[in-house]
Amino acid sequence: SQTIHQWPATLVQPVGSPLSLECTVEGTSNPNLYWYRQAAGRGLQLLFYSVGIGQISSEVPQNLSASRPQDRQFILSSKKLLLSDSGFYLCAWGFSGGREQYFGPGTRLTVT
Amino acid sequence: TQLLEQSPQFLSIQEGENLTVYCNSSSVFSSLQWYRQEPGEGPVLLVTVVTGGEVKKLKRLTFQFGDARKDSSLHITAAQPGDTGLYLCAGARGTYKYIFGTGTRLKVLA
């Protein structure tokens, strides 16, 4: 079976500091990978998706970037965090060519 | 731009009541998914509907995809406290891009 991990679970960072959130998937190969951000109690906003190593598509111009250095690893980064970057960050995976997405447990980021 | 509107935004009902949540858009989607999310956790997939007019049932939950594939509904029969959560619809635009709805927060009182 497949498993998705995200870390850290919670993060408090000052404005202007860098960010690195990591997501890994086990039990599958060549998954589609996604990063979403969720405002409190609301819907999800797609940030990035990747269909293969080194292939990243950005949906929203912003202060964030994503990388996929390995087949089952997806990283969300920022060089300098803004207050508006606070939120609940969710990583998801899906089978290549499949419709469904399966979400990780999320990272709660608070920028102070 | 939010392309998927869900209604109602909040719903508080008594155990045993029935309810319907709506997911509406002016855009056509190749498929549509429903998720339930608990506080502090990632969304959990409930169902995927693909064909216009398709109806799927998951125990007491009935999902319907509109004929034109622009809207969907979720009906819960005899709601239970365990149904409490945030319900999200998500429409697929093409193969990889998913647009999420605004969410419906359901609370079922015992």
Contact at CB, B42 and A92, closer than 8 angstroms: yes
pLDDT at B2: 53
The proportion of chain A whose per-residue pLDDT surpasses 70, expressed as a percent, equals 99
- Mean of the pLDDT values across residues B65-90? 96
pLDDT at B94: 77
Contacts of B59 (CB under 8 A, 6+ apart): none
Using one digit for the tens of pLDDT, what is the confidence trace for A34-44?
999 998 777 89
For the record, the structure tokens of B108 come out as 């079922």
pLDDT at A97: 80
- Mean of the pLDDT values across residues B76-86? 97
User: Cβ contacts (< 8 Å) between A97 and chain B: which residues?
Assistant: 95
Using one digit for the tens of pLDDT, what is the confidence trace for A64-89?
999 999 999 999 999 999 999 999 99
Contacts of B1 (CB under 8 A, 6+ apart): none
Question: Alpha-carbon distance A22 to A26, whole Å?
Answer: 13
Question: Alpha-carbon distance A35 to B49, whole Å?
Answer: 23
User: Cβ contacts (< 8 Å) between A104 and chain B: which residues?
Assistant: 42
- Is residue B45 predicted with pLDDT exceeding 90? yes
Number of helices and strands in chain B (H, E) = 0, 11
User: Cβ contacts (< 8 Å) between A105 and chain B: which residues?
Assistant: 41-42
A52 close contact with B: CB closer than 8 A: no
Smallest CA-to-CA distance from B32 within B89, B95, B74 is with B89
